[in-house]
Structure 1
Amino acid sequence: MKSLLPFLTFNGNAMEALNYYKEVFYDLDVEYLQEYGPETPELTGKIMQAVISLNGQQIMLNDSSLPEEFNFTPSMSFYIECRDLNEIELYYRKLKRNAAILVPLDEYGPGRHFAHVQDRFGLSWQLNFSK
């Protein structure tokens, strides 16, 4: 196996999601971005393929070229181990805007803070900080 990457397919709002995640995560880098070209005018401004890096973890994303709608589910989530309490609070505050809070940020057990949020694009994020 050469590599294994998460691949996220959006329904026409991948660019909006990409810009949103750049605001949420201070260590997100866009490594590659290709939009659909003139041969597919109905997809103008949409992402054909992008690779982002979030704290060194590469993730691919695109907008679906099919009329079928794709949805994300909380059964698959990104798990983030935060460096400190300030970081988990920052991510939680940003991700919970227009989101579904599946598990609110709180202390669950001695020295363990946790939250599970499904953001406005449907992606789920588990945030954890353990002292």
Structure 2
Amino acid sequence: MKTNEPKVVPFITFCGQAKEAVEFYTQQFQNSQIISIAYFEKGDRGVEGDVLTAVFEINGLQFMAMDMEKEYCPQTSWATSFYYDCDSENEFDKLLEVLAKDGTVLMGPEPVETSSSMIKKCAWITDRFNVTWQLIYQ
């Protein structure tokens, strides 16, 4: 990383689905792009052709991803999730639909009221890549 880049970057490990996941996320979220993808080559520790590193952005936040060999691939948990504050109800509904397809809706969509805020819609979804998202529309 260069000195002007963020020091903390979310890093997601996939089991052979990194390219598909990165392409999916950058198509679904606003203002998103793939910055770079490097692949394992013959002789590398990893599956030839799988993603060694992918750098992408979702709405200005940089992420990294890679593929891990299936026998070493970590278990995922909804204890770690990505919180996404939607700009509109339409954006919330669209993201809920596409992230939930072949995934699991853990909660919502539902309103959440606390003493300090009112969230119109909130949902927790583990998508088909086993990545958990918290979608919020305020």
Fold conserved (TM > 0.5)? yes
Q: Check if 1:129 corresponds to 2:133.
A: no
Q: Which aligned pairs between 1:80-119 and structure 2 lie closer than 5 A?
A: 80-109=84-113, 112-119=120-127
Q: Is the 1:115–1:127 Cα contact (8 Å) retained in structure 2?
A: yes
Alignment correspondent of 1:52: 56
Q: If the length of structure 2 is used for normalisation, what is the TM-score?
A: 0.84
Secondary structure of 1:67 counterpart: helix
Deviation at 1:42, TM superposition (A): 6.3
Q: Is the 1:71–1:122 Cα contact (8 Å) retained in structure 2?
A: no
Aligned residues: 130
Instruction: Give structure 1 stretches of 5+ with no counterpart.
Output: none
- The whole-number CA distance in structure 1 between the counterparts of 2:119 and 2:67 is 40
How high is the sequence identity, in percent, across the aligned residues?
Answer: 25
- The whole-number CA distance in structure 2 between the counterparts of 1:17 and 1:104 is 23
Q: If the length of structure 1 is used for normalisation, what is the TM-score?
A: 0.88
- The Cα offsets for residues 76-126 of structure 1, whole Å up to 9 and x where unpaired, read as 000001111111011101101011110121233455211110001110000
Alpha carbons of 1:64 and 1:81: their partners in 2 closer, same or farther (altered >3 Å)? same
